[in-house]
Amino acid sequence: MGAGHDHHHASVSNAAHRHSGRLWAAFVLLAALMVVEAVTALWTGSLALLSDAGHMFTDVLGIGMALAAVTATRRVDTHPQRTFGLYRLEVLAALANAVLLVGVAGYVLVEAARRFGDPPEVRTGPVLVVATLGLLANLVAFALLRPGARESINLRGAYLEVLADLLGSLGVIAAAALIALTGWWWADPLVAVAIGAFILPRTWRLGRAAVRILVQAAPEHLQVTAVHDRLAAVPGVASVHDLHVWTLTSGMEVASAHLTTAEGVEVGTVLRAARKALREDFDIAHATLQIEPGTSAGACGTVEW
């Protein structure tokens, strides 16, 4: 019985490494403005600004996850008990932040409903100043991330988050200006509801993706039957069983399988062809393949789970 194992390489592109300085600059800038927005929102009573701070948190989270992915590829974890390193920390952080964002969005929606009946006064001056600073911060982050967004999927995700937050900042500015000019206090909870409703679906997708990874479900973009059929089509492979495909962390797919070969087939040739098929057709760079020559088929036993 033979076994094959490809060494895992993180799938973060060189582009993410080249633009890591821009990522850090955008991360620090948006994180600082997020804190300023949250504090100002609590001081002024602006629910719209609090919603925008929550939305900006998704930007900071997206950039932080991209930075985590870059850092993970540069650091080798040598602890003997962590055979897959610390890649899953990114997924755990994403799930925790998704839960937190649901709480923030839920609070905003409940508070907005209460304010529609009795809208409190909002200090529009500080809100306008801070919302304008938030808009400028998003524009700077947008410019920082734009070059790398064409080359890296991680950077593209962060770039799109910042682009979406530009709309939130504009909404807060519009609400504050409307209140200052007309005294129509309902503008603040209306904008808050709009931003909260915008955050929730994105947060749901983030949490759902994290849970899929943690329960080791097959990646949505990969059909396990297609992987099975491709391995079965490798010359010399008689059958495929015990096939598992899962995600280690975002962009890092892993597979394991038992391949039964026809009698007289050169095991090394089959192993190389199977690895190549997984890598080129499904972008699975890490695969553990157990080769079972026809004469020893069934020797691996059956797992009762």
Q: What are the pLDDT digits (tens) for 12-71?
A: 444 455 667 777 888 899 999 999 999 998 888 888 888 888 878 877 877 787 677 666
Q: What is the arrangement of strands in the sheet containing 237-249, beginning at the earlier edge strand?
A: 2-5, 286-293, 252-261, 237-249
pLDDT value at 294 more than 90: no
Confidence of residue 10 (pLDDT cuts 50, 70, 90): very low
Mean pLDDT of 163-185: 84
d(CA 151, CA 89): 25
pLDDT value at 85 more than 70: no
Q: Are strands 286-293 and 252-261 parallel, antiparallel or unpaired?
A: parallel
Burial class (CB in 10 A: 0-12, 13-18, 19+), 180: middle
Please report the domains of the chain, with CATH numbers, ordered by start residue.
14-214 (1.20.1510), 218-296 (3.30.70.1350)
Q: Quick check: helix, strand or coil at residue 265?
A: coil
Report the sign of the C-alpha dihedral through residues 154, 147, 25, 130, in that order: negative
d(CA 215, CA 40): 40
Tell me if 263 sits within 8 A of 294, measured CB to CB.
yes
d(CA 119, CA 195): 18
- pLDDT score at 8: 40
Mean pLDDT of 120-132: 86
More confident residue, 148 or 202: 202
More confident residue, 139 or 7: 139
Nearest-10 Cα torsion for 232, 237, 239, 241: -80
**If you compute the radius of gyration of the chain from its CA atoms, what whole number of angstroms results?**
25
pLDDT value at 249 more than 70: yes
- pLDDT score at 72: 63
Task: Quote the pTM value.
Answer: 0.69
pLDDT value at 83 more than 80: no
- Nearest Cα to 237, choosing from 285, 284, 281, 289? 289
Instruction: Please state, rounded to an integer, the average pLDDT across all residues of the chain.
Output: 80
d(CA 305, CA 301): 13
Mean pLDDT of 2-11: 43
- pLDDT score at 148: 65
Helices then strands (H, E): number in the chain? 9, 4
Mean pLDDT of 225-248: 93
Q: Which amino acid is at 92?
A: L
- pLDDT score at 302: 58
